[in-house]
Amino acid sequence: MSELPLVEPDLALLREGRVLIDVRAPVEFAQGALPGAVNLPLMDDDERHLVGIEYKERGQTAAIALGERLVGGEVKAARVAAWRELLARHPDAIVYCFRGGLRSQIAQQWLAEAGITRPRIRGGWKAMRQALCARIDAAAEQPLLVVGGLTGCAKTDLVLALDNGLDLEGCARHKGSAFGRHPLEAPSQIDFEHAMGRHLLDLPGPVVVEDESRHIGGANLPLAFWEAMQRAPRVRVEMPLDWRLAQIHRDYIEELWAVYRRQCGEWLGWTLMRKQLEESLAKLRKRLGSARLARLQRLQAQAFREHERGNPQAHEAWLAPLLTEYYDPMYRYQLEKRDPGHFLHVGDWESCLAVARQWSEEQGAVTPQRSAATG
């Protein structure tokens, strides 16, 4: 197996959008995979567990022998067939395992026996992960601009309107607030970091991000990058309450309902969306107090009844006090602790976008901007 081809753990593989065949067990894949990877394991979780025990108790030779007994005959044929089927669609796909060692070599060998030669990644998942994490650390040393502002100021839209914007909430699949959970499953911490690293491959210069706490849902920003955000200059978006209310209605109601309806259908989607919003509001009891929470819960329940009658705008009755009584005081408290000198500009959405573009050009971001969408 020593003559089987290797490729270096080059992040260009990800930038090029190569399909990667991850032959690790499903439990390993679920903990974190490489962007663009498809899990077609050499061994399933149970087989891997048994082989691992054998390795610890009797050594590598005995473990390999057990693996050959467990993954032989029809099982082996089915696994090879799955690899061949994917390679028929993506003939330039590349194989990897945890360290680019035995499992990916075995997969290569079985494919070679079937007349197909494909390389594996030297160092495997581990080497590629190290390279992705290094890209994040390198970005922490580059110029950063942070976009702040009250909830509902369309900060994410502003970041996405820039070609050098990095959508951290998109990477985390969470809007970063009590109501920010996405209907789809959140990524693991490893997958969140890999998504960050992958997006940063396309942003070689200065980067613009939204102001975030270190925790975005269940994901944690890498420490060096988060610390760089705290030092970075800022722009602050300020928009009137009615504008922000329309924005938060779009985010919390319209877009959430669209995703749930698409994923789960009308009845179940409605039930799950309502459950999520009710639970999110209930979690604010400590900050709102029992009396205010009860009032907002009554308004929320009434809004859902009105929504069912065809009036989705009724949600503004509880979203408006949510902004003014919860989000705004919390943000202003944080703002009081911030050095005013960090702000390059304070203004409306369009002016902040213009300043962010000017800053990007001055710092060396010469790629064309995306089209603006204020929502």
Residue given tokens 């971001």 in the structure block? 365
Q: Virtual CA dihedral for 190, 195, 196, 199, nearest 10 degrees? A: 160
Separation between Cα atoms, residue 172 and residue 174, nearest integer Å:
5
H helix or E strand, kind and range, residue 275: helix 266-282
**89-to-82, 84, 129 alpha-carbon distances in Å:** 11, 9, 26
Best CA proximity match to 15, nearest among 201, 187, 288: 201
The Cα 338–Cα 332 span in angstroms is 10
Active site residues: 97
Whole-number Å distance between alpha carbons of 167 and 374: 15
Q: Report the b/e string of 192-217 with b at 16+ CB within 10 A.
A: bbbbbbbbbeebeebbbbbbbeeebb
What is the number of other CB atoms lying within 10 angstroms of the CB of residue 48? 20
User: Which residue reads 């960050």 in tokens?
Assistant: 196
The answer for residues whose C-beta is within 8 angstroms of residue 233's C-beta and 6 or more apart is 145, 146, 342, 343, 344, 359
